[in-house]
Structure 1
Amino acid sequence: MFASIKRLLIGRPLKSAELGEQKLAKSKALAILSSDALSSVAYGPEQILLVLVTIGVAAFWYSVPIAIGVLVLLTALILSYRQIIFAYPHGGGAYVVSKQNLGLFPGLISGGSLLVDYILTVAVSVSAGTDAITSAFPSLHEQTVLIAIIFVILITILNLRGVTESASILAYPVYLFVLALFILIGVGIYNVMTGQVSPELHAPIGTPVAGISLFLLLRAFASGSSALTGVEAISNAIPNFKDPAPNNAAKTLIAMGVLLALLFSGIVWLAYYYGITPKVEATVVSQIAEETFGRNLMYYFIQGTTALILILAANTGYSAFPLLAVNLAKDKFIPRMFTARGDRLGYSNGIIILGVLSIVLIVAFHGQTEHLIPLYAVGVFIPFTLSQTGMIVKWIREKPKGWVTKLIINAAGALISFVVTIMFFLTKFEQVWTILVFLPLIIYLFLRIKKHYEAVGEQLRLATCEPPIVIEGNVMILPVAGITHVVENSINYAKSLKADQIIAVYIPFEREEEAAFQEKWEKWMPDVRLVTLHSPYRSIIHPLLKFIDTVQRKASESSYQVTVVIPQFIPKKGWHNILHNQTSLMIRANLLHRRDVIVTTVPYHLKK
């Protein structure tokens, strides 16, 4: 039944040879890997105005030079990540760059930051999109958490179906959003140029404003830079592109940068010219759309596509998180299960874990994750800073052709990213301080996992100086609960292995049972030694383990191996298991951690 449901939801399994068919063309990759960055246009400009409004509406003209600063940072990041794509064509992005050029700990900081950031991407994006829906339909407000969870489950299932299938479906809403905003910006600019918008709605650029300071401008710049989250996703996901993967990834990155720059600058300029003031009940984009079109079909089209892009921005996390997890898993910093491909050739374990953790966040914050946006942004700018710095070290060390230009690009990106990171800590410390707690914990966990894998490898390696175990013979212990076909089957199996001694162990709770069973056994199987262990406290496990330990100590003196053979009957139907005590499972669970004791189960399958 489970297999049928899985087949229905996820689709038929794909052969490994079909992996090439799961690679992305540039048009689809642009949609699913840019959705996070493009969706930030819906809130990035608003973040700038929210800081400037503390001084007054006259300060709104500063949003234009601040936006120019954000575009300069965007240019530096796009050019830098383009260089990273060609320098590290197998993906990994900031984690690989930082680890190889700055060392292990900077690499783990980048990797840990991005893993958490992608979880936040899903939680924040889906919650923001859900808020847009419940704003349009207030009666659904009490179901915010449930709606958000349903969206996460749907996106998770869609990604489990494969990269190309999810891209084919999710590309349409992303391009509809881009089209809607270009129409909005185009009509808005036309209205301004034709004099349909009064110039009195805004203060002229250069108007003196009392109370303005460099600190406040830097704070507004840092807040506006939240529009750049998701820029790094393409460099992490190079393996998802069709060949030549680096070239296609670089072209997609440039296309994303151009789209983001045009949309961001257009919204900022229209917000300034229209004199838009941030409101709790209406976003900046909503106000611009209403001023431009009124509350007509076009307005609702823009709002609908905005809600969709906010939800689908989560897909950037689903595209990048599994690939980053693969790189960390290959380096043995997280479980190896993240390197396994699923039925549809995607890294299913990474996709499922991302979905589960994002649902945990949504439930924990009751779907109100908007105050996680600063943490979400600083979680990206730390890897931004480290990756740019790592590229600086790379160019200085290798000095390839044109390295000075590349060095200047990365130095500019590193400096601006560092300033933005510091501004987040200075201005929104109460919202981002947790990163100073969970990052060390994540790095500690990475190192503990790495240490475990190294210890396992050292102990399993044939070159180790560990002496081989010498086995002179075998003693088999067989717990029995009665005289049945299950026990008979297990004894026959033990005899077939030519054991030196077979000991059947019966644990009665009453003395009368003990004598009666010994008598029956002598008549049924006299050639197999029976040991009875009376258990006055009605425990099976404790006396059995005590007996096994006694036998094992004596056997080890003669280099004999102790094997515990556990009879177990298997019901025909799975649900029948709940009708039985599962004693054999408890015995096996307790024995698996016993040194120098081999545990084997002999199943007996019931026919009805």
Structure 2
Amino acid sequence: MLTASMKGMVALTGLEAVSNGVQFMIHDDAGIVKWGKRRIPRLHKLWDFYSGRSGIGRFVQTSFLFYGGITTFFLTFFSLRFNVFDGTYGRTLVGNLANIGFTQIQGGTILFWAYQILAVMMLSAASMTALQDAQATEWRDVAIGEIPEVVIYRDRRGTFTRSVTITFAAAVIIMLLVRGQTTHAVPFYSIGVFLPITAMGLAIRKHILEHAKGRARKLGAAGATFSACLSAIVFLGQIFGKWEEGGWVRLISFSILFTVAHLLLLSPLGYRDPKQIHRIVREKAHVRGAMASIVEWQSLKMQEYRYSLLIAIARFWQLFGINRPVRYDPPAIAGDYDHALHTDHPEAPSFLAQYLEKKEEPRLGGKPQETAPASEDPFS
């Protein structure tokens, strides 16, 4: 139980890692799904839900939810039962629970320290998911225009070495600034998790309202709305509910990140045309299939957002008599999401192909010479 308690919160944090790492999973059914389709076909809705690459991710996330929820319950129960918390006796909550459990047996002190070493190793391994997040997100941020293109590079082993190196260096610098006190990062992590969960909840609500009907539409929209509101409350609570504990620092930090991201997007570094997006996704990141189509569509939508901001800024200056025309032409229209994704044909080519110049096939001896047509006017 003590081991499970330690891993409870780590398991919950794995949800984000799976959502980002699903692009690296094989597009195949898990063994239990194949067995279920053959032996229990009447549960076809369940097997369809857990089919393919997305189904593997759902399997892992479902396991995380149950495993993380149960073990976190153990953690809370034993904390109240033995009246120990973070900081009690100079130990963490898990450290206190482990000490109570192991000291009940002979030689427990040795086992306690062995457990502590094991815990450090396990948490260090779990923290590596942050580097997976960096690999899974930074190339997408490059494609949509929030990070300069020079950051993206994928070696032959499939690792985005530059993004991982930059992330690791930033983590080391931050740890030096906070003098190794990792607890300072907990509020920022909770904010960074619940803000995207809020956005995902609203996106799911919109999707349900557009595609579902009847009772499923009503219940699904209500559930998605509840999740989005709950996540938003937690997100805001980490800032304003803990204002005296440093909430104002988090507000300033995320405001700076929000502002810098928009400044990069509005700058020339944030401009992306379809050819550049295709090159980043297909040639530099070497991503194919539905994931590539999703990011290409997102990139075009982000360019539409960028152009609308530039238009709004130009109109704002016009109020003061300053005419600042937009330097860029209107971006390519992203269009319908389902059309861009090729849900019926996941192996279909990129929908950006229509914007790419068709290269002529090479000819033996080079391109044939062309002669101009003869002029009808002898004096010309």
2: CA distance, partners of 1:230 / 1:370: 19
Residue by residue over 1:377-399, the C-alpha shift from the partner in whole angstroms, topping out at 9 and shown as x without a partner, is: 21221111111112112211233
User: CA-atom RMSD, angstroms?
Assistant: 3.1
Post-superposition offset of 1:369:
3.9
The answer to whether the aligner puts 1:438 opposite 2:257 as a matched pair is: yes
Post-superposition offset of 1:302:
2.9
Contact preservation (8 Å) 2:5, 2:71: no
Residues 389 and 308 from structure 1, CA distance in 2 versus in 1: closer, same or farther, beyond 3 angstroms? same
Q: Give the secondary structure class of the aligned counterpart of 2:168.
A: helix
Query: What letter is aligned with 2:122?
Result: I
Post-superposition offset of 1:233:
2.1
Out of 227, 231, 237, the residue aligned to residue 423 of structure 1 is 237
The answer to whether the aligner puts 1:413 opposite 2:231 as a matched pair is: no
Contact preservation (8 Å) 2:2, 2:98: no
1: CA distance, partners of 2:256 / 2:210: 33
Residues 437 and 226 from structure 1, CA distance in 2 versus in 1: closer, same or farther, beyond 3 angstroms? farther
The answer to whether the aligner puts 1:266 opposite 2:85 as a matched pair is: no
Identify the residue that residue 371 of structure 1 maps to in structure 2.
184
- TM-score, scaled to structure 2: 0.56
Identify the residue that residue 398 of structure 1 maps to in structure 2.
211
Identify the residue that residue 344 of structure 1 maps to in structure 2.
157
Post-superposition offset of 1:440:
1.6
Unaligned runs of 5+ in 2: 29-52, 277-380
Query: Where do residues 55-204 of structure 1 align in structure 2 (5 Å cutoff)?
Result: 181-182=3-4
Residue by residue over 1:246-299, the C-alpha shift from the partner in whole angstroms, topping out at 9 and shown as x without a partner, is: 111110111111221121111111111122244261111122122222043432
Unaligned runs of 5+ in 1: 1-178, 186-223, 458-608
Query: Where do residues 115-514 of structure 1 align in structure 2 (5 Å cutoff)?
Result: 181-182=3-4, 228-244=12-28, 245-278=53-86, 279=88, 281-294=90-103, 295-399=108-212, 402-428=216-242, 429-433=247-251, 434-448=253-267, 451-454=270-273
Identify the residue that residue 219 of structure 1 maps to in structure 2.
none
More strand by share: 1
2: CA distance, partners of 1:366 / 1:355: 16
2: CA distance, partners of 1:239 / 1:181: 31
Query: What letter is aligned with 1:264?
Result: T
Contact preservation (8 Å) 1:334, 1:449: no
Residues 449 and 358 from structure 1, CA distance in 2 versus in 1: closer, same or farther, beyond 3 angstroms? farther
- TM-score, scaled to structure 1: 0.36
Contact preservation (8 Å) 1:236, 1:320: yes
1: CA distance, partners of 2:55 / 2:4: 27
Post-superposition offset of 1:337:
4.3
Q: Give the secondary structure class of the aligned counterpart of 1:341.
A: coil
Q: Give the secondary structure class of the aligned counterpart of 1:237.
A: helix
1: CA distance, partners of 2:212 / 2:6: 46
Residue by residue over 1:341-396, the C-alpha shift from the partner in whole angstroms, topping out at 9 and shown as x without a partner, is: 21311222221221122122223333234223212221221111111112112211
Query: What letter is aligned with 2:145?
Result: K
1: CA distance, partners of 2:94 / 2:269: 47
Residues 398 and 456 from structure 1, CA distance in 2 versus in 1: closer, same or farther, beyond 3 angstroms? closer
1: CA distance, partners of 2:9 / 2:120: 21
Residue by residue over 1:380-439, the C-alpha shift from the partner in whole angstroms, topping out at 9 and shown as x without a partner, is: 211111111121122112336834343233222111111111211212223412212222
Contact preservation (8 Å) 2:18, 2:57: yes
Query: What letter is aligned with 2:91?
Result: A
Post-superposition offset of 1:335:
2.8
Query: What letter is aligned with 1:363?
Result: L
2: CA distance, partners of 1:380 / 1:238: 17
2: CA distance, partners of 1:354 / 1:382: 21
Larger radius of gyration: 1
Q: Give the secondary structure class of the aligned counterpart of 1:296.
A: helix
Query: Where do residues 13-52 of structure 1 align in structure 2 (5 Å cutoff)?
Result: none
Query: What letter is aligned with 1:439?
Result: F
Residues 449 and 381 from structure 1, CA distance in 2 versus in 1: closer, same or farther, beyond 3 angstroms? farther
Query: What letter is aligned with 1:301?
Result: A
Residue by residue over 1:6-59, the C-alpha shift from the partner in whole angstroms, topping out at 9 and shown as x without a partner, is: xxxxxxxxxxxxxxxxxxxxxxxxxxxxxxxxxxxxxxxxxxxxxxxxxxxxxx
Post-superposition offset of 1:331:
2.5
Contact preservation (8 Å) 1:374, 1:431: no
Identify the residue that residue 368 of structure 2 maps to in structure 1.
none
Post-superposition offset of 1:311:
2.1
1: CA distance, partners of 2:82 / 2:179: 35
Query: Where do residues 544-563 of structure 1 align in structure 2 (5 Å cutoff)?
Result: none
Post-superposition offset of 1:304:
2.1
2: CA distance, partners of 1:389 / 1:184: 32
1: CA distance, partners of 2:196 / 2:168: 23
Residues 232 and 408 from structure 1, CA distance in 2 versus in 1: closer, same or farther, beyond 3 angstroms? farther
Which one has more relative contact order, counting CA pairs under 8 Å at least 6 apart?
A: 1
Residues 228 and 440 from structure 1, CA distance in 2 versus in 1: closer, same or farther, beyond 3 angstroms? farther
Q: Give the secondary structure class of the aligned counterpart of 1:313.
A: helix
Residues 321 and 453 from structure 1, CA distance in 2 versus in 1: closer, same or farther, beyond 3 angstroms? same
1: CA distance, partners of 2:274 / 2:210: 34
2: CA distance, partners of 1:456 / 1:184: 48
